[in-house]
Amino acid sequence: MNTFPLGSADLASRRLGGSVVSASDESFGFKENLLVPAAPDFTPGRYDHRGEIVDGWETRRRRGEPGHDWAVVRLGAPGVITRIDVDTSFFTGNFPPVCQVEACGLEGYPASAELAAADWAEIVPVSPLKGDSHNLFTVTDLRRFTHVRLSIHPDGGVARLRVHGEVVPDPRLWDGLTIDLASQEHGGLVVAASDDFYSSAEVLNRPDRARTMGEGWETGRRRDDGHDFAVINLAATGRLRQIEIDTSHFKYNASAEVELHGCALVDGTPPPPADSSSWFRLLPRTAVRPDTRHLFTLDRPSAPVTAVRIDAYPDGGISRVRLVGAPEPGARRRAGLRWFDRLPDSQATACLTGAGVSAEDVSAVLAARPLGEDLSAVPAGLAVTVLTEWIDGRP
């Protein structure tokens, strides 16, 4: 069985909606290359009007002028960043000697001027880089960020930027809706799979649609009487209403049948082994067709589930799994507390001020964080009303 580390999503991924919103310069290599999902590639001797064609972001040579180059990235899924990978693959004589990474948290969709004026926090200090290498940096700041800024000193080329971490969704966006509780964009994670021979089960809960067979989960051909499975930790404990099993692009090697089981555990508890009696059935063993999106609407909402196991008989390929439902009130509250407690002070201040909370009460709320389960330290009045709605959710 393969297991995957919790918190391993690439928060900046284009597949989650990440984007390079601005850069100081991109004379040789486009800034958008930083977030291309595929690994970098390079063919020597290919030129266009800019120079040699590079698969990365490359700036012009600075000739003694002050300053350095930078690129600002909007995270596709805001969250707590745990590791940064500054990938300089194929950049040998033109990689930056050092880099720095900063992060900030902002509401909405800020323009470049707002980002320039943001309260940036250093999460990777000025650090040396190696050429043609994955340069990995551990991040210990536990705040929730929405943007990162990569600075290179003084100039040079970077192939890819990966921002690994744990998604911390804004649960205010869930209120009154059913959502895909399995989706990476909300914080769902594939945590185990029986087999990843051709492609990883980690793609099953991506919010996009697979464009080819290679963007789905495909196992090796079984020669025994067993079956394959994958386990997804949901973004929040919830009751499922609809299950989607998508076998798109798997025409001759799709799974023949599927069966789904769920379990209900305390937050933070890893799912039990696949053969544990803790699992209960959500969808009976059901035949599925190749190259088809299957929707299974449940007769009634399921019991609360925190994780789901997808059994694939006997093996084969599945492109995507969607698990649509509504978070439980307790899970919604935990998500609300986690979101607000992880906000940088500047973003929490903007949220509260925008809701009409006085400057004095804003200071008191910030001083009371982490709020935990009790809002008794929050000033009575509008601050409590606003926070209760954000944390518990609107009907």
pLDDT in tens, 286-338: 999 999 999 999 999 999 999 999 999 999 899 999 999 999 999 999 999 99
Among residues 167, 183, 204, which one ends one of the domains? 167
Among residues 167, 198, 226, which one ends one of the domains? 167
Q: Where are the beta strands (DSSP E) in 130-209?
A: 134-138, 144-153, 157-158, 160-167, 179-180, 189-193
The C-alpha atoms of residue 232 and residue 280 are separated, in whole angstroms, by: 15
Asked whether residue 129 is assigned to any structural domain, the reply reads yes
Is the same domain home to 183 and 320?
A: yes
Provide the pLDDT for residue 25.
97
Among residues 328, 356, 375, which one ends one of the domains? 328
Closest CA to 287 of 261, 308, 259: 259
Is the same domain home to 10 and 106?
A: yes
153, 70 contact by CB (below 8 A): no
Asked whether residue 333 is assigned to any structural domain, the reply reads no
Asked whether residue 15 is assigned to any structural domain, the reply reads yes
314, 195 contact by CB (below 8 A): no
Q: Which residues of 273-292 are buried (b: 16+ CB within 10 A; e: fewer)?
A: ebeeeebeebbeeeebebee
- Quickly count: other Cβ atoms within 10 Å of residue 59's Cβ: 25
Provide the pLDDT for residue 2.
65
The CA distances from residue 383 to 330, 331, 360, 366, in Å, are 21, 22, 10, 11
Mean confidence (pLDDT) of the chain: 95
Is the same domain home to 95 and 190?
A: no
pLDDT at 394 over 90: no
The residues facing 240 across adjacent strands are: 325
Asked whether residue 262 is assigned to any structural domain, the reply reads yes
Is the same domain home to 76 and 138?
A: yes
The H or E element that residue 113 is part of is helix 112-116
Is the same domain home to 161 and 249?
A: no
Is the same domain home to 38 and 156?
A: yes
Is the same domain home to 54 and 157?
A: yes
Residues spanned by the domain of 96: 2-167
- What letter would DSSP give residue 61? P
Is the same domain home to 322 and 257?
A: yes
Percent of residues, the chain, with pLDDT higher than 90: 90
Which pLDDT band holds residue 3 (cuts at 50, 70, 90)? low
Is the same domain home to 223 and 118?
A: no
Structural domains in the chain (count): 3
The C-alpha atoms of residue 172 and residue 248 are separated, in whole angstroms, by: 32
Helix axes 329-342, 382-392, angle to 10 degrees: 120
Percent of residues, the chain, with pLDDT higher than 70: 98
22, 113 contact by CB (below 8 A): no
Asked whether residue 334 is assigned to any structural domain, the reply reads no
Is the same domain home to 100 and 182?
A: no
The C-alpha atoms of residue 269 and residue 267 are separated, in whole angstroms, by: 6
Task: Give the phi and the psi of residue 382 in degrees, each rounded to 5.
Answer: -60, -40
Asked whether residue 54 is assigned to any structural domain, the reply reads yes
The C-alpha atoms of residue 339 and residue 168 are separated, in whole angstroms, by: 6
Q: What is the token pair recorded at 379? A: 């000033």
- Quickly count: other Cβ atoms within 10 Å of residue 47's Cβ: 8
Is the same domain home to 135 and 215?
A: no
Q: Which residues of 332-351 are buried (b: 16+ CB within 10 A; e: fewer)?
A: bbbbbbbbbbbbbeebbbbb
Asked whether residue 182 is assigned to any structural domain, the reply reads yes
In this prediction the pTM is 0.94
Asked whether residue 202 is assigned to any structural domain, the reply reads yes
Locate tokens 């601050």: which residue? 383
pLDDT digits (tens, 9 = 90+) for 221-280: 999 999 999 999 999 999 999 999 999 999 999 999 999 999 998 877 888 998 899 999
pLDDT at 1 over 80: no
Is the same domain home to 222 and 366?
A: no
Q: How many alpha carbons lie under 13 Å from residue 256 in its C-beta half-sphere? A: 6
pLDDT digits (tens, 9 = 90+) for 345-382: 999 999 999 999 999 999 999 999 999 777 888 989 99
CATH number of the CATH domain containing 115 = 2.60.120.260
